[in-house]
Chains A and B, each alone.
Chain A
């Protein structure tokens, strides 16, 4: 058992410390800073408090979805239905509040419950019917979107009560409510994933299902919880979005899973599970937010933004896989 012969360099040691202690990949932080600097140089409007809050506000919905994606991908799964479930949840909440005329609390519960149920169905199918997660959640992507259109009869549901609208547009202390909810969710999610048994088992499961099973972790049960949690978070994202635009829009969240998964991967989540951190994902989500905000300020057509996000996803996975292959012994 030979001890280390070569001392790792300074950069490698800083990298390792940031991964071990802060659970973030240093490269993503560098990219975020570089991107922000570039945007600040290119646009005079970029560096301002109001634009900063704008970025956070625009990131809040995607950010919550990215948290969901981090848990699922970290556990070795995949959830392609995030955007559709978010749309379904928003419509469900609006339907309860407007069409049924129930109190706002029920509308909030309806959003999150609708998401949780869709997520739970994903989990049941993956663990009991042995249909691959890719197929189950791709199917749910279609199912949830279709159901959202059926419930709303293809039209956005308007006329939400003021309490709901406050969740999306209120600004206590000048900070948008979605940003507050998003940041609190991220803090709790980070603590759960990094420091609790549930979080550790999640990553162990994504790392080696056999090892987790041998260690006595109830693998299928754990997966069902994670998919349900993912759906519930998509429901929360649906609530934030619906409240912000003041309408239950059945087409809300189309392609959002692309951005959410990209944010998680840029943040250092291993596409095949076993490594993930919410803090890293938040940096990834901010990178996506800054990219979209900056391109908008520079008056780049949104079609090109879509292309940029797709390209970033592929690039991030390429860099990650390149590093994994370089570091691991095979």
Chain B
């Protein structure tokens, strides 16, 4: 069953054309790797899915609905979450505030005034989510900026998973992590798949992409240049599709070392 379907997505910034008609589809519970050189348009494409950018033309359907006109908040409500490379955390706010930002549960103050944030409920649910991810944070009431990179990553992941998403987009989730933390992110992706949650993984680390995805889409010059089944491809083919011919052997050897 197709969960997400992009057709002919175009996006330009001023005179710079970034996306020239991208087609992409993701099925429910499928893990799709999105790879490509720097500047191929990966991040731009993902931001047109989350609604941060509005596509110039083309169509985006999610769960059978046309979502092109929806803003980021509405798309989140439909179940599209993204973990940004820079994590997009409000660093001076605490864990629960970040996880629930924009979706805070409310209660009535003295049973009278509506619209007050239910901080107790937020803290409880945040602690539960962090525990489910098997992570340890010094304190849930500390500002996120005082945490280590891995701990901040945990908060960003918890934020993406708390509201039962259908699709999670991860932009370079392993780029800044230690080896052990990389493994736990990859395990998490496998767990999401087993729960029927679709994942789009953007990564430069092709070993990670090959080990965890079902399908690999190569973005090149603003187009989906190749759509490969992970089980039937290998490092050499992926690399050659990314660089588009040229000295493939050397590039592949370089990747294998890295």
Contacts and interface: CB of A to CB of B under 8 A. Distances in A.
A210 B136 contact: no
29 contacts: A1-B148, A1-B151, A1-B154, A3-B138, A20-B141, A191-B109, A195-B116, A197-B104, A200-B97, A200-B104, A204-B90, A204-B93, A207-B91, A207-B92, A210-B84, A211-B90, A211-B98, A212-B90, A215-B102, A215-B103, A216-B76, A216-B77, A218-B71, A218-B73, A274-B91, A274-B93, A327-B146, A329-B145, A329-B146
B104 A270 contact: no
Interface of A: 1-4, 20, 191, 195-198, 200-201, 203-204, 207-208, 210-218, 270, 274-275, 327-329
B138 A274 contact: no
Contacts of A3: 136, 138
B51 to A, nearest CB: 8
B102 A217 contact: yes
B148 A204 contact: no
B226 interface: no
Contacts of B91: 207-208, 274, 328
Given A3-B136, A204-B93, A214-B84, 19 more contacts: A4-B138, A195-B119, A196-B116, A197-B117, A200-B104, A207-B91, A208-B88, A208-B89, A210-B86, A211-B90, A211-B98, A214-B88, A215-B73, A216-B74, A217-B101, A218-B73, A274-B93, A275-B92, A328-B91
Contacts of A270: 92
B102 A201 contact: yes
B207 to A, nearest CB: 23
Interface of B: 50, 52, 71-77, 82, 84, 86, 88-94, 97-98, 101-104, 106, 109, 113, 115-117, 119, 135-138, 141, 145-146, 148, 150-151, 154
Contact of B117 (A195, A213, A217, A218): A195
Contact of B106 (A20, A197, A275, A329): A197
Contacts of B141: 20
B37 to A, nearest CB: 24
Nearest to A207: B90
A3 B135 CA distance: 11
Nearest to B159: A215
Contacts of A328: 91, 145-146
A79 to B, nearest CB: 21
B92 A274 contact: yes
A274 B101 CA distance: 13
A213 B93 contact: no
A327 B146 CA distance: 8
Contacts of B90: 203-204, 207-208, 211-212, 274
